[in-house]
Amino acid sequence: MFAARNAIDGVLANESHGAWPYESWGINRQDDAEMTLDFGRPVDFDKIALYTRADFPHDNWWVKAKLTFSDGTEEVVEMEKSMKPHLFSLERKNITWVKLSDLIKADDPSPFPALTQIEVYGKDSQ
């Protein structure tokens, strides 16, 4: 299954794809794919982790992505071919959502990049 909900379920298995526990958010070759994670309340955070699917050589990977925050700020992050999480120290306060977009694939024959998990580390805003 390749639904967005798979990227927020806490399952970090990213070395294959398809059946549980190897589910992910697959973009179905959609170059303008994006995902918005709405927290439902204001939060403060200082780190984001992206676990990209790493079923190589079946999978491609993203080399760059944009994170847009509810306060109007943006960060462009860079990634590499890896089974390990991509960690980004990005401090934001009083944010209600984050959007992952502008996903740039690596120059690789596979058309299938995917996100296994997104994690945002922080706490409720005071």
Chain segment 32-41, per-residue pLDDT in tens: 999 999 999 9
Between the two ends of the chain, the Cα-to-Cα distance in Å is 37
* pLDDT score recorded for residue 18: 86
Cα–Cα separations (whole angstroms), residue 104 to 16, 41, 63, 92, 113:
21, 30, 6, 24, 10
Q: What is the pLDDT of residues 1-20, one digit of tens each?
A: 579 999 999 999 999 998 89
* pLDDT score recorded for residue 107: 97
Residue 5 · residue 22 · CB < 8 Å: no
* pLDDT score recorded for residue 1: 56
The tokens describing 108, both together, are 């690789």
Q: What is the pLDDT of residues 98-120, one digit of tens each?
A: 999 999 999 999 999 999 999 99
Residue 110 · residue 54 · CB < 8 Å: no
* pLDDT score recorded for residue 100: 98
The residues facing 115 across adjacent strands are: 25, 52
Q: pLDDT grade, residue 28 (50/70/90)?
A: confident
